[in-house]
Structure 1
Amino acid sequence: MVWILDNAVDRHKEAPYTFYIPGEEVLDRLQAGDLVKLIFMAEETLDNGCGAERMWVKIVERNASDFRGELVNHPVYLESPQYGDMICFNSVHICSTQLEDPRTKEMDYYFDYKVIVSNDVLEREQFNFMMKDDPNNEHDTGWVFFSGYEDDDYNADSANFQVVSLGVVLNMDDSIIPYLDAATPSAYERDLESGKFVFVEDYDWDAYYDE
């Protein structure tokens, strides 16, 4: 079976708030004997639907950003490579290490804390209205995101909404970070000319709570 190593840096660029990669300060500390995790991609999706496996590799030698290491996992789905195989790779392929990284706490926040989004937001990969109510639990941010194209009937059906990680909406637009700690209740609408979010002074919260 033919396989290639996935580029973790490219993955992170596509989803910076949900796909973790170690920071440069961690990569600089890597040396022989350390364990790093790589993503082994099958060139064709397997019959069981699996397209990749994340596996640990023990570094044997390093030359700047190029590495050589020994695979120390037994693949579950891929027929190759095999345990003990020597793997040549670059730092762009490393998606995790066993070294301490302060960035993991930040990434945990984006993953662990939740928001509610309409399915239309996920389909369009954009949101134009957001509102914050009192959270229901310690990991609920209280934020709800709408594309702005939903009608009243759509919004009245809870099946049209789902809970996702905060990082999912930040991958779409991280300009909202300064608003995340806003007081409740708050509502913001995107100004179509500037693209920025503007506080909605006259939002009808009484009607919202009566729904």
Structure 2
Amino acid sequence: MSWYLDNVYERNAESPYTFYIPSKQVIDILSIGDIVKLRFMGETEKDGLAGERMWVEITERIGQNFKGLLTNDPYDLKDLKIGQEILFKVENICDTEYQDPNSSKWDFYFDTLVTVSEDVLEKREFNFLLRDNPKGEDDSGWSILSGYEDVEFLCDSENFQIVSIGVVLNIDDSILEFIQEPPLCAYERNEEGEFYKIDDYDWEGYLNG
């Protein structure tokens, strides 16, 4: 068999703020006739595709174990075909057709945008954040830096990306304690590894620089 079902709980553990899994409330109500999405993984990655997410209609449920029929035509996995019976477990379900009670939380993780230094993404570390007034509907106003960037780096816009806040939370979610604080505010990590608010930050110099 050239495919296997991904364990979405393991994926979520690796990226808890960017890899969605249905809440327990949704999983508990799943029954025969419901449609769920599974992640079918190929033995080898092809054309940059790590797997195919496809819908399966539940035909049987016994506790955490399911049977279902594939409702999609696979794009590349040749050992699969529409209508094929699939055996799967709760840990294989990456989405459902139900409205999730936790959807607003996930919307925040996915839709809230921040400006982040490439150095943060490379080092997977950040030590300084400031929140300016947002410049668009989804822009949070937050800029996030590793603290190691020099002036030349900071002056080049190519060294920054716009990403969802979930990407940053995957690195360090301790900032959830103050991430909703309104602009203008700035935080820095201290020697103990904890963030503190910079009460005397030079906002006039920043805004007029």
User: Under a length normalisation based on structure 2, what TM-score does the superposition of the two structures give?
Assistant: 0.96
For structure 2, the 5+ residue unaligned runs are none
2:38 aligned with 1:15, yes or no?
Answer: no
SS in 2 for 1:162: strand
Q: CA deviation at 1:200?
A: 1.1
What is the RMSD of the two structures over their aligned residues, measured on CA atoms? Answer: 1.1
Q: Give the Å deviation of 1:173.
A: 1.0
- Residue 118 of structure 1: aligned partner: 117
Corresponding residue number in structure 2 for 1:25: 25
Per-residue deviation, 1:62: 0.7
Partner residue of 1:97?
A: 96
SS of 1:120's equivalent in the other structure is helix
Report the Cα distance in structure 1 between the residues aligned to 2:49 and 2:142, rounded to whole angstroms.
Answer: 34
Task: Extract unaligned runs of 5+ from structure 1.
Answer: none
Q: What is the DSSP-based 3-state SS (H/G/I as helix, E as strand, rest coil) of the residue aligned with 1:145?
A: strand
Deviation track 1:155-175 (CA, whole Å, cap 9, x = no partner) reads: 011110010001111111111
- Corresponding pairs, count: 209
1:68 aligns with 2:67: yes
- Distance of aligned partners of 1:183 and 1:104 in 2 relative to their CA distance in 1, 3 Å threshold: closer
Q: Is the 2:40–2:52 Cα contact (8 Å) retained in structure 1?
A: yes
* 1:30-41 equivalent positions in 2, closer than 5 A: 30-41=30-41
Partner of 1:202: 200
Does the aligned pair in 1 maintain the 2:125–2:171 contact within 8 Å? yes
The Cα offsets for residues 103-139 of structure 1, whole Å up to 9 and x where unpaired, read as 1221012111100000000011111000000001121
Q: Offset of 1:202 from its aligned partner?
A: 2.4
**Partner amino acid for 1:181?**
Q
Report percent identity of matched pairs.
48
Asked if structure 2 preserves the Cα contact closer than 8 Å seen for 1:50 and 1:77, the reply is no
Where does 1:1-211 land on structure 2 (aligned, <5 Å)? Answer: 2-46=2-46, 48-193=47-192, 195-211=193-209
Q: CA deviation at 1:205?
A: 1.8
Q: Secondary structure at the match of 1:106?
A: helix
